[in-house]
Amino acid sequence: MEEILEKVKSWLEKGGEEAGEIAELPWDTDYVKDSRGEVVGLVAINPKVPVKLFVLDNREVNAIRLMIHTGIYTADLEPASKLKVYRKLLSLNKTPLAKIYLEGGDGEVVVASDLSTKTLGEEEFYDTLTFTLNTMLAIYNVYGIPAEVKQDMLANLVWMIKKRMEKGWNKERLEKFLVNKVGMNREDADNLLNTVFQESGENGENSETLYV
């Protein structure tokens, strides 16, 4: 099963900067491991997407699951409000391939799609990922993006910056990435990088020795 995860990882990472669909942009990925250190899936981050994408290995049925936790919780809503939310979610639960369900005691809204690994190809993967992301966006269009998710977006961005720092990117190259690829204005990008470099004890002026 790790072979299919390797394929999915390569599909997510290669992307294309000029892609018309968010799904086909380059993603930063890492492995998800269980308590025994075994790989059970992938986590992927895209600066254009407010939440992490999880790709989970379900080898018992030869499938993978694309899953997005929206950060929207329903358990503490008043009964009347909860009923309205459930009805609206059911009305949105019609996108091909993707499904919406509630998870955990907090009743978090989750979007997921299941794919058989027996015949999975790149085109099918991207199509399914697009449907999954479109369902997520439809939910946020109705309910907005929760404050906690916005905080996570910043943490995800810092994670992406640090990964590039480990590859030898200097401040100038990182600033271009934030401005041209993420869409930040130059002042905000510069302030964020100053904070990250200060926390890392670096000045950001190192010459680049690695280009990956």
Most confident of 5-14, 47-56, 175-184: 5-14
CA angle in degrees (0–180, nearest 5) for 63-67-70:
165
Q: pTM score, two decimals?
A: 0.76
Per-residue model confidence (pLDDT) at position 152: 76
pLDDT tens for residues 162-176?
A: 888 888 889 898 988
Residues contacting 25, CB < 8 A, separation 6+: 15, 16, 17, 19, 46, 48
Tens of pLDDT, residue by residue over 100-115, are 999 999 999 999 999 9
**Rounded CA gap, 114 and 97, in Å?**
8
Q: Percentage of the chain surpassing pLDDT 90?
A: 47
- pLDDT of 164: 83
In the block, residue with structure tokens 């994670």: 159
Average model confidence (pLDDT) for the chain?
85
pLDDT for residue 128: 93
The pLDDT tens digits for 8-39 are 999 999 876 666 677 888 899 999 999 999 99
Confidence of residue 203 (pLDDT cuts 50, 70, 90): low
Cβ atoms of 162 and 156 within 8 Å: the answer is: no
- Size (the chain), residues: 212
Distance of alpha carbon 211 from alpha carbon 19, whole angstroms: 22
- Per-residue pLDDT at 15: 72
The DSSP code for 50 is S
What is the side-by-side strand order in the sheet with 53-58?
A: 28-33, 39-45, 53-58, 63-73, 108-116, 99-103
The closest alpha carbon to 17, from 48, 62, 57, 58, belongs to 48
pLDDT reported for residue 211: 28
Find where tokens 């015949």 sit: 119
